[in-house]
Structure formats: C-alpha cells, structure tokens
Structure 1
Amino acid sequence: MVEKRESPSAYGEHAKKIKLDENKKDDIAIDSELLGDQSSYSGGNEQEKHEDEDDDAAVAAAASLVSDAETANAAAAALSHQQPHHHHHHHQQLHQQQQQQLHQRLAYENHYGQQLHAASAAVNAAQHHRSGDTILQPTTLPQGGGSKPPHGSDEWHRVRRENHKEVERRRRELINLGIKELAQLIPTPDTNKAQILQRGIEFIRRLKENENNNIEKWTLEKLLTEQAVSELNALNEKLKAELERAYREIELLRRKLEEKGA
C-alpha cells in the first residue's frame, strides 16, 4: 500500500502562509507602536518632528529586515523538512538544493543581521540625541541693581553725606579701639586720649632704650663667652698632648721592664 505524502511545494507554501500571517501580526503591532509614538510626540517643534520621522524610518527599516530574515528562515526550514523523493537521483538533487539553500540562508542572515544591528544602533543614537536635546538647561535670573540718583542732585548729596558720616564713624571707632588697647598695655592711670598717647610714646622709648642696652650687654657677653671657649679649647689641646706623651713614656718603661725580666 502506497502512503500518500504531501508534496514539498505544498508543505513549503503552507509554512510560508503561516509565517506571513505571523509577519502581518508583527507589522500591525509595529505600525500601532509607531502611531503611538507619533501621537505622543505630535506636540513638539519641527526639529523633534524630523527626528521622530528619522527614528520611525529607522525602526521600520529594522522591522523590514527582521521580517525578511524571518521569511528566509521559514523558507529554509520548510526546505530542510521536505521529504525525499523515492527516486535516488531526485533525492540527490533535493539534498544538493537543501545544502545550497542552507548556505544561502546563512549568508542572508549574516548580511541582514549586520544591517539590522546597524539600524538598531542608529535608532539608539537618534533616541539618545533627542533625549539629550530635551534636557532642561539651568536658567539664571538677571540681578536687578539699585538705581543711583543723578549726579549733583539733592538726593546724590544726601547719600554722599551719609556715606561720609559712616566712613568717619568707623574710623573713629578704630581709633578709640586702638587707644583703649594701648591704655591696657602701658602702666598709666590716665583716661584722657592725649595723655594715653603721650604715655604710650614714653613707654615705647623706654622699651627701645632697654632693648639697645640689652643688645650691647648681650654682645659683650657673647664676646667674653667666645673668648673663654677659645681659651678652653687651647687648654684642652695642651692637655691632650701631655697625655699622649705620658702614654708614650709608659709604653717605653714597660718594654724596658720586659727586657730586663727576660
């Protein structure tokens, strides 16, 4: 009894039909996603619209490449699953065709896989560029400066007098603070500013005289100390020479005693 087998062409057409239905579903999903993206970015400016159109074109190209690759895979898979003919010669031809289709499928997948990778990279770069452009830049508010009165006006003179008074007040505060600190440093019971300044001058003069006297005294002491150190060094050298001479005499006497004992 001869078993009825489905022809290879019918099997391939059936597989292609199933795959095309799936591709149509994928195309519908991709189209709806693209429509959603277009509606979400419809309120942007012209530059964003152009960028969206470029991104959509890149996505559509990538989807087309994927669809073509899947179609080629389905055709190759259908050919690889076909049943061999009962004739040996036909079986060899079919096997050769399958091998050829397999090599073509591998080359096809490699070629379009590279294109798909490049398209995906382009889409990612475009999205990254668009997201970078939408980052809000920090804004700085201008600082408003106060308006100055016209030169020579009454308001200008009034402001000038107030500034002068403020400067003079600060100067007097510094002078009073310095006199108060000076009164704490010098031994005087006076509270009059002029007397405090006079006592301060006298006190500083005495300090300078004492410093000069101390410098002279310290200089003399330094000279005397250096002279004493020099004399001590000379005496030390003299003692060292006498000690070495005594050691030599002791060594000479020891040798003489050894010679007499021998």
Structure 2
Amino acid sequence: MTITAAADGSALGNPGPAGWAWYVDDSSWAAGGWKHATNNQGELRAVLELFRATAHIDDDLLVLCDSQYVINSVTKWMKGWKAKGWRKSDGKPVMNLDLLMEIDEAIAGRRYRFEWVKGHVGHPLNEAADERARGAAEAFQRGRPAPAGPGFRGTEAAGEPAFAAKATAFVRQGSPSVPIPRAERATADAHDELFSLDDLGAEIGEDFRDLIDPHGLDTMRSGGELQWVSLSLSTDEHRRLVQRANARGVTIEEYLRGQI
C-alpha cells in the first residue's frame, strides 16, 4: 500500500514565526512550529516529521510537496552534498544542515517518492497541510497554543509499548500556600508542538487516580487544597507531551497546569 501525505511549511516574515505540518486525512496529521524560522525550515521539518511518524509502517510513502527546494534537496542534491562533506559545489556549507542530515537518516531504507504540487490552487491535501502550518505560525506569532494534531493513525496498533508516565495536573482551590512538585526538566528534542488538555483526555481517556508525593516540593501561593492527578500514557503520547512542554520552555506539570 502507499501512504499519500502532503507536507508544508509557513513563515510569517520569512524569517519570522513559522510552522510546519503534514497531512494524510482529518484523523492523521501533525503540526508544530517555532518563534523564529524560515519557510524552507518549515518545509523541511514537515517532511522530516512525516518520515518519523511513519517509520513503523512498512508501506510506500508518497510525499506531496509544493517546495522544489525540498524535493530537489532530498532527491537530487543530497547525495552530492554528502560526498563533499555537506558542502555545495562552490565549497560553501549547505544551509539547514541539521534538518537535512536528520532527513537523510530518516529516509534510509524507506520506500518513498516525492510529487510536486502547485501551492494555493485548491489541492485538498496541500491546502490542509498549508492551513495547519500557517495556523501553527500564527499561534507562535500571538503566543498562543496551537493544535499539534493526532499524529499518524495506527501507532498503538503497530505494537508500540505502553508505560505509565506521571503527568500531574493540579486543581487549586481556596487561598493557603500549598506545595507544588518540581518535575525533572524534559530532555527530548522540542518539536514546538502544543495541544489542549481536552485533546489529551480524548487520546488516553479519563483513567485518573489521586496521587500524593511528598518528595521534591517547592511552595507557591495557590488557592487551597492541592489535588494530584496521575494518568498512564503510551510511549508516543508521552513523547508528544514532553515535546509540547519543551516548546514552551516549561516542565510537563507546568504545561498541563497551564491548560486547566
């Protein structure tokens, strides 16, 4: 079978607030962005994240892309750049090297092809990816959360292991000082993805239990009795949660608390 997906990027100001997105259908897409990046970086990141999201699927991948720069970089120029130590024919370093090297790693052993589509002419998949990439860029421009998308369908069906990850949210009531845990700072590479707590609940269900942990506490002014909530996340869900917290430069707990 062949997975057909559009990948697109957007930058407001180029460089400026930027976004990326890939789109298969309404149940299978992802988006993210940065406070400051170029359109080409958004286009490359969209392709990279698409390959990463489908790495566990043994299907051909057809990538619809409106960027000749991205298509040529991956299909024509990359091999020569690598042979020259990631330098162009004039000896100058290749731009966007980190993203290109990650794409080179992600496509190894994959069956794929790219197809150029003209942007902004009503192609349904391209328009859907463009809308989500621009939405992410606008969210970063305004300092607001933006939907990250459900990711690629079938991740759990592919047998990705589930494990319990404590993602604690807090409900504050009243006025006394209460202890708040300081979580270990997440270390995964940020994809600048953002989501709402409602999205998380829809993904993993309302299987919560009260939890009190007396260790590693700081004190802050809050409004009343502290309630702890723990929930079980799959590996993929936890990864996305870490990425979204990193995108805001906060701990997982601080991120979730901000969504309440």
Name the TM tier (shorter chain).
under 0.3
- Select the structure with the greater relative contact order (CA < 8 A; seq sep ≥ 6): 2
